[in-house]
């Protein structure tokens, strides 16, 4: 029996066994006071460390291989952060005015900045706090003269508060078998990079740093979301067998990824991929995806200056032509009035999750929005482009966008610029308001995409990152399921397609119910596409419809979970556990 079992969020599937290696091993920070005479010396000490960290990041960027070239941009952003006068001056000011050591001033500043990003509702933007933490960890280690440890040359399981791409590039990746972090989530750099490298990874492992021991053997279960510290021989044998079975299953799904996702009784379902950046397009093409169901357009706007129309056109056109003739659905900016514009305005809102974000921000700042829409319309001349609007709450918001698109069409015609005169326009159904007026929205839209992460967040009135209310993040709650059915039915009554692009799309328990409700397509990270397509081929529409009917009649989420689990376990057997899901983690314990 293992010495300890911890639980986390499976962000990259697989099973790994190895030896614990702490990536960052700095001692606990203490509030050390200094005299006024020591301020200048302490400030200079910090400046020297900043220069050293900048140099180490530059070296790490040079080590990024071509097949991971997109992470050069991430490391470059961290280098720029070390030059950011707001960050550096804030720390220097704290040293001077609070008479504390540089390490403590750094700790306070990093915590303050990370807190700002954690308040953001969009998980992709919320996880950008990882960049701040990564730079903070490097600076802290420089101040304490306790550098990161490199791989030992053994079968390492890297453990850290968080791990950045720069950290990984300094390692011998052939020796890294798994990654465990206390912070981060499915859209963090750690998650995306570990999926690219096909390294099993769990994020958000509570208590990890306090319980794990250096050189201890550990099992990373990236399927069930478990960490086994100090496993016994029975644990090792069981997980070795499961790893071999999973590897064989994954290889089979990759070999069959180009087969259509057609259920046993002939009903075909679209399986598309979510994409963060154009440089990740190859992963989508390898996955066998039926197009791009969600392209997040925020990354280009996260630098110190706004991108030009030509820069956006180049990015969007490369995606459209790369996936053609399949469709690429571009979600317009889903940010608040800040980090995109350097993180200071909207982040000062009392409640950013309910503030000026998504379509609200875009309609308020139409100069930025029109530049993006023009680039999308022009990219439409190169491929099959669709536009999706986030955070919709009213019919008038969609009508305003249609009016803007018509104006831009006339502008582009006058300028004799090639473009698509009418791109398909859809909306994200992710607010209760949109769910309740979806019949009216369906008359104005060409398609729906259900953002299940935010929809659950708003229906249940919870902050998903708040562990005190995490138990309410329940996708099988009757209110959530009935809302999903209402949305799907409203779309079909107007003969428009409806997709699901949240994390639930890759969860077999919920996927079976969504298919039974009649969802037309799902969209997930490229890594999960082959497995989802294979899973759908094991279902039949009639059984899924019956399952959805029974679940919709239930008022007990726990009973619904048991019902679905038992039904799928009968039909799928051990294969059910090869799909990363949090819904049946308890069943594995």
Catalytic residues: 189, 501
* Distance between CA atoms of residues 221 and 194, nearest Å: 14
How many Å separate Cα 404 from the centre of its chain?
30
- Residue 396: Cβ within 10 Å count: 11
β-partners of residue 274 are 294
CA torsion through residues 327, 333, 335, 340, sign: positive
β-partners of residue 426 are 388, 447
Cβ proximity of 474 and 557 under 8 Å: yes
Cβ proximity of 536 and 269 under 8 Å: yes
Closest to 322 measured CA to CA, from 369, 297, 289? 289
Locate 508 and state its tokens: 């077999």
* Distance between CA atoms of residues 560 and 541, nearest Å: 19
* Distance between CA atoms of residues 471 and 561, nearest Å: 14
Cis peptide before 84 (omega within 30 of 0): no
Residues 6+ apart with CB under 8 A from 447: 386, 388, 424, 426, 491, 496, 497, 498, 499
β-partners of residue 385 are 328
Rg (CA), the chain: 24
* Distance between CA atoms of residues 536 and 443, nearest Å: 30
Cis peptide before 325 (omega within 30 of 0): yes
């Amino acid at each position: 029996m293992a010495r300890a079992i911890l639980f986390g969020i499976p962000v990259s599937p697989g099973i790994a066994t190895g030896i614990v290696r702490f990536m960052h091993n700095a001692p606990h920070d203490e509030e050390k006071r200094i005299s006024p005479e020591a301020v200048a010396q302490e400030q200079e000490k910090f400046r020297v460390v900043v220069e050293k960290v900048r140099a180490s990041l530059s070296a790490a960027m040079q080590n990024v291989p071509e097949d991971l070239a997109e992470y050069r941009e991430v490391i470059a952003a961290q280098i720029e952060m070390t030059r950011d006068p707001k960050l550096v001056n804030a720390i220097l000011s704290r040293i001077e005015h609070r008479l504390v050591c540089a390490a403590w001033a750094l700790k306070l500043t990093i915590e303050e900045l990370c807190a700002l990003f954690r308040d953001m509702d969009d998980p992709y933007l919320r996880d950008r706090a990882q960049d701040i933490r990564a730079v903070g960890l490097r600076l802290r280690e420089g101040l304490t003269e306790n550098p990161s440890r490199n791989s030992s040359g053994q079968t390492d399981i890297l453990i850290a508060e968080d791990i950045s791409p720069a950290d990984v590039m300094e390692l011998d990746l052939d020796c890294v078998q798994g990654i465990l972090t206390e912070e981060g989530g499915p859209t963090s750099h750690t998650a995306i990079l570990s999926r690219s490298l096909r390294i099993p990874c769990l994020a958000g492992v509570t208590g990890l740093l306090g319980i794990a021991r250096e050189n201890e053997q550990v099992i990373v279960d990236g399927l069930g979301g478990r960490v086994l510290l100090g496993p016994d021989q029975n644990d090792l044998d069981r997980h070795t067998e499961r790893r071999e079975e999973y590897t064989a299953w994954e290889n089979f799904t990759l070999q069959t990824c180009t087969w259509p996702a057609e259920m046993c009784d002939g009903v075909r379902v679209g399986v598309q991929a979510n994409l963060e950046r154009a440089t990740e397009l190859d992963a989508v093409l390898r996955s066998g995806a039926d197009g791009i169901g969600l392209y997040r357009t925020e990354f280009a706007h996260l630098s110190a200056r706004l991108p030009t129309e030509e820069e956006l056109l180049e990015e969007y056109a490369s995606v459209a032509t790369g996936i053609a003739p399949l469709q690429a659905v571009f979600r317009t900016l889903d940010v608040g009035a800040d980090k995109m514009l350097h993180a200071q305005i909207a982040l000062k809102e009392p409640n950013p999750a309910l503030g000026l974000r998504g379509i609200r921000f875009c309609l308020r700042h139409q100069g930025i929005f029109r530049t993006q829409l023009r680039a999308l319309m022009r990219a439409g001349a190169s491929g099959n482009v669709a536009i999706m609007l986030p955070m919709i709450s009213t019919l008038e918001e969609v009508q305003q966008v249609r009016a803007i698109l018509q104006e831009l069409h006339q502008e582009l015609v006058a300028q004799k610029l090639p473009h698509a005169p009418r791109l398909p326009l859809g909306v994200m159904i992710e607010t209760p308001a949109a769910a309740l007026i979806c019949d009216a929205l369906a008359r104005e839209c060409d398609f729906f995409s259900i953002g299940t992460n935010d929809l659950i967040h708003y229906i249940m009135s919870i902050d998903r990152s708040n562990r005190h209310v995490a138990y309410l993040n329940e996708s099988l709650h009757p209110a959530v399921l009935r809302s999903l059915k209402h949305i799907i039915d409203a779309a079909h009554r107007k003969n428009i397609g409806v997709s699901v692009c949240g994390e639930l799309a890759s969860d077999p328990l919920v996927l079976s119910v969504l298919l039974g409700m009649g969802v037309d397509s799902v969209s997930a990270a490229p890594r999960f596409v082959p497995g989802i397509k294979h899973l759908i081929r094991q279902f039949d529409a009639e059984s899924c419809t019956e399952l959805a009917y029974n679940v919709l009649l239930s008022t007990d989420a726990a009973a619904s979970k048991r019902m679905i689990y038992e039904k799928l376990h009968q039909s799928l057997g051990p294969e059910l556990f090869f799909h990363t899901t949090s819904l049946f983690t308890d069943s594995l314990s």
